[in-house]
Every structure is written in C-alpha cells, then in structure tokens.
Amino acid sequence: MANQVEIRDILADLRDVATGGYALAFHVRFSTPTFLFQTYPKKWLDYYSQNGLVLSDPTVAWGFQNLGAVQWAALKNDDPKGVLAKASEFGLNFGMTCAVEVDGSRSIGSFARPDRDFDDAEQAFLVQKIDELHDLTANIKALAPETNKALRLMSVQFTHT
C-alpha cells in the first residue's frame, strides 16, 4: 500500500511541474511498457493515437536511444514528421524527455509546459522522480497483488481520463 500512495503522490508532484502534462512509460520491454501514465490533453492524445505518431515521435526515439535528459528544442532537427510542431498546436509548446535504465529495464518520461522551458532545477526534479518511480515499479512480482492491481488501474485512469 505504501508504494501505491508514494507513486500517486509523485505523479501529483509531476503534474504540478509539468503543467502541460506528461507521458510516462515504465519498464518498457519490446516497445511495451508495464505501466503507462499520460496526462496530456485528451485532444492531443486522441490525435497522437489516431495518427500513429509514436512511430515518428523524436522524444520516443531519443528515449530508446539515450539515457539522461533532453529539452524538446534540441530534438527539432530530428523531427521530419513535425510531431513537436503539431504538439505545440495542442499547447505542448515546451518540453523535456528523460530516460533511465537499470538491469536492462528502461523507463521513459516526457513532460510539457505551455509557457516556457523547464529550468535546471525542474529538470533535475523530474529526472529524480522518474528514477524513483522506476525503482518503485521495478519488481512487479514483489508488489502486493492489491498494489499491482491499483497501479494498473491508476495507469488506465491516468491514460484514459
């Protein structure tokens, strides 16, 4: 139960900093995450999904190829399909992506703001919280069944609000 409450609190903290929303994919294996949390505007999520943008999203590609963090502005030259420009039409004007990997398990988080880039302190905070969430969700088999069920429900609720 402690993990569930801690995870819920961290997700709320992320929402306070990433005022445009976020997409978090934890423990991605063969391109499928164990947990996926998304709080971007529904219209953007619908457009993104309907147009299959995950395949050409430079933030996703960066997250699979790198560890650490990057501002979205640095990815504009690696965006031939214009995913980031399209995202800005939905208010996702500024953002950052980070990726962590421990023992071959990778987690990727992307965060957006409508008004400005994340400053250094915010970026460090977001990376730290992704590290924490990665650790908290690492061993799904060790999680109590009720915690596992609650996390999956939270994942669906966050993704499909």
Domain coordinates in residue numbering, the chain: 2-159
CATH number of 2-159: 3.30.450.80
The model's pLDDT over 98-144, given as tens digits with 9 standing for 90+, comes to: 999 998 899 999 999 999 999 999 999 999 999 999 998 886 655 56
Give the pLDDT confidence score for residue 91 in this predicted structure. 96
In contact, 84 and 72? CB cutoff 8 Å: yes
Burial of 100 (C-beta count, 10 Å sphere; 0-12/13-18/19+) = buried
Could you count the other beta carbons within 10 Å of the beta carbon of residue 74? Answer: 12
- Find all residues with CB under 8 Å of 123, minimum gap 6, and list them: 69, 71, 96, 98
Q: What is the mean pLDDT of the chain?
A: 88
Question: For residue 8, what are its two tokens?
Answer: 């819920």
